Structures are given as C-alpha cells and as structure tokens.
A and B are shown apart, each in its own frame.
Chain A
Amino acid sequence: MNYLELTAIIGGGAFIAGLLGALTGLGGGVVIVPLLALALGVDIRYAIGASLIAVIATSSGAAAAYVKEGYSNIRIGMFLEIATTLGALGGAFLAGILSTKIIAVIFGIVLIYSSYLSSKPKENHSDNIQSDPLAVRLRMSSSYPTSNGMKEYTVHNVGTGFGLMGLAGVLSGLLGIGSGAVKVLAMDHAMRLPFKVSTTTSNFMIGVTAAASAGVYLNRGYIDPGLAMPVMLGVLAGSLFGARVLMIARVKALRIVFGIVILAMGIEMIYNGLAGKI
C-alpha cells in the first residue's frame, strides 16, 4: 500500500472514529490504536503516537464549545492535572520499557472495561453533604447552571480521586488514549461531582494529560507524520461533524453498537497480545 492509499484509508477510519466518539460521548481515541494495529498491521508504538495526537485534537477542539456553558471547574481540573500529568510521564516511560505484547493485553482490558461502562446509564452521585476538608482548603466546591438556576455542589474523597487520576494518567501515557473510563470512576464515583461538571472538566484535562506524554513520544520518534496527519485531520473532522448532527442521531442505538465494537476490539487485542502477533 502506498502513502496515498494509506492516507485515504486511515483518514476515513479516523473520521468514523471521531464521529462515533462525539455522538456516543465515549471518545474516538480509544479505537484509533486497534484500528491501526489490528486492521492495518501498524506497529503499536506508531499507533499510540498517532492516537495521542488525535486525543489532543478532539479535547482542544471541543473545549471552546464547553466553556461557554459554565460547567467545568478549573480548580478541580488543574489540581487533578498534577496527578494526570505525572502519571502520563510515568506511562510514557513505561511504554519504552514494556513489551508490545503486554501493552496490547493492557489495552484490551481497558477496552473491555470501557465497553462495560458504556452499557450502564450515567448516574449522578452529586449531593450537598459537607465537602472533604481537603476540598474546602482547595476551594473546590462551586455551582453549575441547571434549568432551575444555579445549583451548589460539594466535593468528596479528594485523595482517592487524585490517586485514580494518577492511574488514568499512566494509562493515557502508556496507551495513547484519553482514559475517560477511569476519569468517570474518579470524578463521578469517588469525588461525587455532578455528571455535567465531571464530563466537561474531564474533557478539559484530557488534552493537557495527552500533551504530557506526547512530548516524550515525540522525542522517542514514536510520532510519525505520515500516520499522525490523516489520524489528526480525520478525527477532528469527524468529531466536529458529530457535534453538529448530535441532535438528529439516534444516540442510544449507536452507543450499544459502538460498545460492542469496542468489546470485540478488546478481545482481539488481548488475543493478539497473548499470541505474540503484536
């Protein structure tokens, strides 16, 4: 296959990934690596480098739309970014040590977990019980707009959330993904943030976390312009288009289909990793 054919195929696949990611809210980054590594036989290190680029593009591109709504909490985001960026640096260094087989198996497990999470409805764990003392010291409590005006919320288990965010960072740096699934655990379940606050704050953090490992990947020569260019442009176009058609699409059926696709990719990644094909 020459560069022209490869660019067309990867660009098209990345467009669909970005579109589905935006429509289902699951993020398109998670399917870029399986797409490149399983379908096109690209070395997983090149695939991860290209995927990181796609993750930064979608996060930064969507941020402008999110901020106007006033949901995201920049204090919580910035504080947790200490954990995610440090974790991402650790993950990027791990990627240079671990064999590609182990990386493939870990990737498969994360895909299966993401698929499981997509099958469950989103729950709101937010409440008005007194905040964690650390959250008070860090001035994390805030309010967000609802249909009944501004609603106050409190923040819990900052330590657990911080630790889980470190894990999200490691996975992001190791696998080149946004780690949305682990961020949900940290912000929705542990810290009990309102669903809309956690989603938008997490989107704000994904780009910064990915940038923390992208520097290391670039310096290692994992980011190939011939692969990353169609991935970046395809995902960006797909996610922008997805945000436009969001209103008319039947999102529920799509979520189920995308969840099954992710599950299948997860199983294949684990199989290929164990069989030594990656």
Chain B
Amino acid sequence: MKLFSQLNTPNTRKISASESSKWTDQRVEVIIGNLLRLGVIIAAAVAFLGGIFFLFTHGVERPDYRFFNGEPSPLRSIGGVISEVFSLHSKGVIQLGLLLLILTPIARVAFSIFAFLEEKDHLYVVVTLIVLMFLLFSLSGGKL
C-alpha cells in the first residue's frame, strides 16, 4: 500500500513541510471520501436486498409501532445480527446493512489515524484516538 511505503521514506520529499502536509491532507481526504461512498453503497445494497426479502415474506403483516417494545435481543448487537444473517432472517440482513452504515464513519476516523501518523502529527493522532475510543465505546453499547 502506497500509504505505508511513504511512511518509511520521508527524507525523499523535496517539498516544504507545510506544503506536503497540505498535499497529503487533500489526497487522504479524496481516499476517505471514496471509502465513505463505497461504504454507503454497500450498506444501502445490503439493506435493499434484505428489504425486498423481508417484504416478500412479511409484507402483509401489520406492525404496531405506536407502542415501544424495543427490538428482540439478536438485533441489538453485532454478534447477534451476524448470526441472524446466517440463519437467513430478512430482518437480520436489513440490520446488517444498517450496521455497515454505522461502521462507515467509524472506519473514516480509524483511517485518519494512519493519515496523521504519516504526517507525524502526533497531537492529532491522539485527538483521533480519543474520538475513536468514544465511537467504539458506543458500539459496545456503553458497556466496556
């Protein structure tokens, strides 16, 4: 991967520090932008397929959303959703799509850590790690 090969040869750069930082910022942003778009496309495709499957099998059922019961526990965690998908439950497939969507911005933050490492910007490596920590804490359901 280009990103890492550059990491080992910083002395070959001829442009000034601020220019190179700017240039890397822009390049990394474009990579991250495409990563986000890809994440959204995959998530939407999975949710769409799950949705078609779900409407075929449960379309005529009448849900009641006026009263809050909460989702059954398999749809509440990453492990649960994955096992629902393997049991071919349509709701599990939709939920996987939603989960992939939630993971997309988290992947963006994780990727930014490498970008700041490459720029040797240790202050922002720490800042980004803090943000990532909050995100992972949330994903675990606030039970670390």
Contact = CB atoms under 8 A, between A and B. Distances in A.
A7 B138 contact: no
Given A92-B138, A213-B138, A223-B98, A59 B105 contact: yes
A269 B52 CA distance: 33
Contacts of B82: none
A227 interface: yes
Given A41-B66, A42-B65, A228-B98, A211 B29 contact: no
Contact of A56 (B48, B72, B101, B137): B101
Contacts of A45: 68
B105 A56 contact: yes
Contact of A57 (B75, B101, B108, B131): B101
Interface string A48-67: 00000100110111011111
Contacts of B43: 57
B140 interface: yes
Contacts of B105: 56, 59-60, 207-208, 210-211
A60 B104 contact: yes
A238 B33 CA distance: 20
A2 interface: yes
Given A74-B25, A75-B124, A219-B77, A228 B65 contact: no
A127 interface: no
Interface in A187-239: 207-208, 210-216, 218-230, 232-233, 236
Interface string B121-144: 101100110110011011111110
A89 interface: yes
A93 B54 contact: no
A3 B98 contact: no
Contacts of A224: 65, 71
Interface stretch (A14-22, A26-34, A80-88): A80-88
Nearest to A219: B141
Contacts of B26: 70
Size category, A interface: 35 or more
Contacts of A138: 123
A43 to B, nearest CB: 4
A60 B51 contact: no
A7 B59 CA distance: 9
Contacts of B39: 60
A225 B98 contact: yes
Contacts of A65: 33
Interface string A87-125: 011001100000000000000000000000000000000
Contacts of A222: 70-71
Interface of B: 25-26, 29-30, 32-34, 36-37, 39-40, 43-44, 47-48, 50-51, 54-55, 58-63, 65-73, 75-77, 91, 94-95, 97-99, 101-106, 108-109, 112, 121, 123-124, 127-128, 130-131, 134-135, 137-143
Given A78-B128, A229-B47, 20 more contacts: A2-B61, A41-B65, A43-B66, A53-B98, A60-B40, A60-B108, A61-B37, A63-B36, A67-B30, A78-B109, A85-B134, A92-B138, A92-B142, A216-B141, A219-B77, A221-B76, A225-B50, A225-B54, A228-B47, A233-B48
11 contacts: A40-B65, A46-B65, A53-B98, A57-B40, A78-B109, A79-B124, A89-B137, A213-B138, A214-B102, A222-B71, A225-B91
